[in-house]
């Protein structure tokens, strides 16, 4: 938690002024019971109306000054807390952007979303509460007791006893409830995770008629959260009756002692009223302090979870002195490459191949054979566990990451489009692309056919995730986005799976027109999609088991032949 407080450093002035103005407010509040006592003992007792009016004006003035101080303190506290949260959220987002795919896989998307939203909000509330109440509440409690001693020492002993008993009740309840609040936050994380899964996978859930199962699953997580919250609520609910019993008992004793002293002429009626007011102030401030402790506990727990993410060192660093590309005929080289994700088993084992500039390479294999893993290592989404992946003759680890990825256009296996116009989505590939460049990219990707039928064409608004487009349309626009970049290396990771054979064939022919020096990698499940490429790489269980053109692999590679024959059989 302490590590993230550095983002509060830009608000030192606000962090100092807010508690100071709260202390000023508290000081004026402590004087009000004395004014009330003076009104009773002097004004009312002596039937002195001018004095009563004067003291009432003073009391109103104290209230207005206190209110002004309170508003000022609230302003500074809010400014510091909101500014701190904004800087922390920005720093967390920047840190997440630096994390590699492996880092994000290990942490989890839902966890990162929770850290960015509810956890930061809890920390913001905690900072706000601390700046406003951390000094004020103890100051009022101690100040009220000191003021009571100035009125009557013997009566003030009641204050000391009551404060000790109230503190015991409050802190015992907090000691029991604080660990439970942490469990509540973990249970809330679970509910949020399930909710996110359901919202993102709603189509799959309905396709398999699993609505009732998911409702039951959510209900179990929700009930677990509810039971914890009810348990915490019941425990903390004991605070009010417990503290009110003690404070009212204290007031009864105070009135009794005060009555005896008034009868003896030691103190006056107004001073007894002042003592009762001070007792009430102590009660209110201890309740505030208890709520502050709860908020701070939640904030610290959430702050620690945010700090845990910020402490993750990105496993993929940009080299301090990036190497320049070598003058070589090879665009991509794999030398004894092995890859492990967050597991002991290797996803890729001893992969070796070289690809010349301008070649078109097909990659095929069964599900889980490592096809996507191979192409994801070229733009350095993942680093090799051993061996080297070279682009333009230089190890990708020695390339500047930004410059490396500028050379590469990639269409990932899972198509992602962003909310905005067709033009805005395609300009992701090249922000300087002209409308003519976009039109050419649409023709190559076979998108022009359906874009021409959309109202506004390039200004047609795409919904978040491309929900208002079909799967094939999303894939083709993603290909256009990669093509408009005019990359040196184009990677199509199973990006035509939703296309029919005719469109797929037209797409492959159009891709050849991009440029003779463009190296193309086509990952596909269909042999028909890659049979005309220069070479085909066949993978099985993370190992390279065949390489060559279609005819050669039919004769020499049993796995490729089986894939091809099974698909040809399906066609018949």
Q: Are 348 and 338 in contact (CB under 8 A)?
A: yes
Given this model, what pLDDT does residue 78 score? 92
How many Å apart are CA 311 and CA 314, to the nearest integer?
9
Given this model, what pLDDT does residue 421 score? 87
Q: Using alpha carbons only, how large is the chain's radius of gyration in Å?
A: 35
Who contacts 149 (Cβ-Cβ below 8 Å, separation ≥6)? Answer: 156
Given this model, what pLDDT does residue 76 score? 93
Sheet architecture: strand order including 330-340: 346-356, 330-340, 386-391, 394-395
How many Å apart are CA 468 and CA 463, to the nearest integer?
6
Per-residue burial over 320-334, b = 16 or more CB atoms within 10 Å of its CB, e = otherwise: eeeeeeeeeebbbbb
Given this model, what pLDDT does residue 80 score? 92
CATH architecture assignment, domain 330-571: 3-Layer(aba) Sandwich (3.40)
Given this model, what pLDDT does residue 282 score? 81
How many Å apart are CA 168 and CA 159, to the nearest integer?
14
Q: Look at the alpha carbons of 287, 289, 292, 298 in this order and tell me if their dihedral is positive or negative.
A: negative
C-alpha distances in angstroms, 324 versus 299, 347, 376, 397? 47, 30, 21, 12
Given this model, what pLDDT does residue 344 score? 66
| Closest among 175, 194, 188 to 229, alpha carbons compared | 188
Q: Which helix (H) or strand (E) holds 146?
A: helix 136-151
Report the half-sphere exposure of 420 (CA within 13 A, side-chain side): 11
How many Å apart are CA 136 and CA 124, to the nearest integer?
19
Express as a percent the part of the chain with pLDDT over 70: 98
Who contacts 554 (Cβ-Cβ below 8 Å, separation ≥6)? Answer: 560, 561, 564
Q: Is domain 84-310 annotated with CATH 1.20.1630.10?
A: no
Contacts of 54-60 with C-beta under 8 Å, sequence gap 24+, read: 59/32, 59/35
Given this model, what pLDDT does residue 384 score? 85
DSSP 3-state percent helix, strand, coil across the chain (nearest 5): 65, 10, 25
C-alpha distances in angstroms, 476 versus 166, 332, 448? 69, 25, 9
The full set of domain ranges for the chain reads 84-310, 330-571
Tokens 């349309």, residue located = 473
Given this model, what pLDDT does residue 571 score? 43
Given this model, what pLDDT does residue 256 score? 85
Q: What is the pTM of this model?
A: 0.71
Who contacts 431 (Cβ-Cβ below 8 Å, separation ≥6)? Answer: none
Structure token pair of residue 522 = 């086509």
Given this model, what pLDDT does residue 82 score? 92
Q: Are 91 and 311 in contact (CB under 8 A)?
A: no
What stretches in the chain show pLDDT beneath 50? Answer: 570-572
Report the half-sphere exposure of 282 (CA within 13 A, side-chain side): 33
Q: Which helix (H) or strand (E) holds 407?
A: none
| Closest among 217, 6, 14, 235 to 130, alpha carbons compared | 14
| Closest among 336, 322, 340 to 392, alpha carbons compared | 322
| Closest among 520, 552, 569 to 378, alpha carbons compared | 520
Tokens 């905005």, residue located = 420
Q: Are 328 and 393 in contact (CB under 8 A)?
A: yes
The chain-wide mean pLDDT, for the chain, equals 84
Dihedral class, residue 387 (left if φ above 0, else alpha if ψ from -120 to 50, else beta): left
| Closest among 329, 383, 372, 376 to 354, alpha carbons compared | 329
Given this model, what pLDDT does residue 569 score? 62
């Amino acid at each position: 938690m302490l590590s993230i407080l550095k983002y509060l450093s830009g608000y030192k002035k606000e962090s100092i002024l807010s508690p100071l103005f709260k202390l000023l407010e508290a000081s004026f509040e402590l004087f009000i019971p004395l004014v009330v006592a003076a009104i009773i003992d002097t004004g009312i007792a002596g039937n002195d109306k001018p004095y009563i009016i004067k003291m009432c004006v003073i009391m109103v003035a104290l209230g207005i000054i206190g209110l002004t101080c309170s508003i000022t303190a609230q302003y500074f506290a809010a400014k510091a807390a909101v500014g701190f949260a904004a800087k922390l959220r920005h720093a967390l987002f920047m840190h997440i952007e630096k994390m590699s795919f492996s880092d994000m896989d290990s942490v989890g998307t839902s966890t990162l979303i929770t850290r960015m939203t509810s956890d930061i909000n809890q920390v913001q509330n905690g900072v706000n509460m601390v700046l406003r109440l951390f000094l004020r509440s103890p100051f009022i409690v101690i100040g009220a007791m000191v003021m009571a001693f100035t009125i009557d020492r013997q009566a003030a002993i009641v204050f000391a006893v009551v404060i000790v008993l109230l503190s015991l009740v409050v802190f015992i309840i907090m000691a029991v409830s604080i660990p439970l609040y942490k469990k509540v936050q973990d249970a809330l994380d679970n509910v949020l995770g399930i909710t996110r899964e359901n919202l993102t996978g709603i189509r799959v859930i309905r396709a398999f008629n699993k609505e009732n199962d998911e409702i039951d699953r959510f209900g179990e997580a929700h009930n677990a959260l509810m039971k914890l919250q009810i348990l915490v609520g019941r425990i903390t609910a004991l605070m009010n009756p417990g503290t009110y019993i003690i404070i009212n008992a204290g007031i009864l004793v105070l009135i009794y002692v005060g009555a005896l002293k008034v009868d003896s002429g030691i103190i006056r009626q107004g001073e007894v009223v002042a003592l009762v007011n001070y007792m009430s102030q102590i009660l209110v401030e201890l309740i505030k302090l208890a709520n502050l402790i709860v908020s701070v506990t939640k904030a610290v727990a959430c702050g620690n979870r945010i700090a845990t993410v910020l402490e993750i060192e990105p496993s993929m660093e940009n080299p301090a002195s990036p190497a320049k590309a070598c003058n070589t005929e090879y665009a991509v080289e794999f030398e004894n490459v092995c890859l492990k994700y967050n597991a002991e088993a290797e996803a890729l084992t001893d992969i070796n191949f070289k690809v010349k500039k301008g070649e078109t390479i097909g990659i095929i294999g069964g599900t889980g054979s490592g096809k996507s893993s191979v192409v994801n290592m070229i733009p350095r989404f993942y680093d090799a566990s051993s061996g080297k992946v070279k682009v333009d003759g230089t190890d990708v680890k020695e390339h500047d990451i930004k410059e490396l990825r500028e050379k590469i256009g990639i269409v990932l296996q899972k198509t992602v489009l962003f909310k905005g116009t067709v033009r805005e989505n395609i300009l992701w590939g090249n922000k300087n692309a002209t409308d003519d460049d976009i039109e050419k990219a649409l023709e190559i990707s076979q998108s022009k056919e359906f874009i021409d039928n959309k109202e506004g064409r390039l200004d047609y608004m795409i919904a978040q995730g491309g929900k208002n487009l079909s799967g094939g349309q999303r894939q083709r626009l993603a290909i256009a986005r990669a093509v408009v970049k005019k990359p040196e290396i184009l990677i199509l990771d199973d990006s035509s799976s939703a296309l029919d054979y005719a469109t797929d064939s037209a797409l492959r022919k159009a891709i050849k027109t991009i440029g003779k020096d463009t190296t193309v990698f086509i990952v596909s499940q269909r042999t028909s999609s890659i049979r005309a490429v220069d070479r085909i790489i066949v993978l099985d269980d993370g190992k390279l088991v065949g390489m060559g053109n279609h005819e050669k692999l039919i004769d020499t590679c049993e796995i490729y032949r089986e894939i091809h024959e099974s698909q040809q059989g399906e066609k018949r």
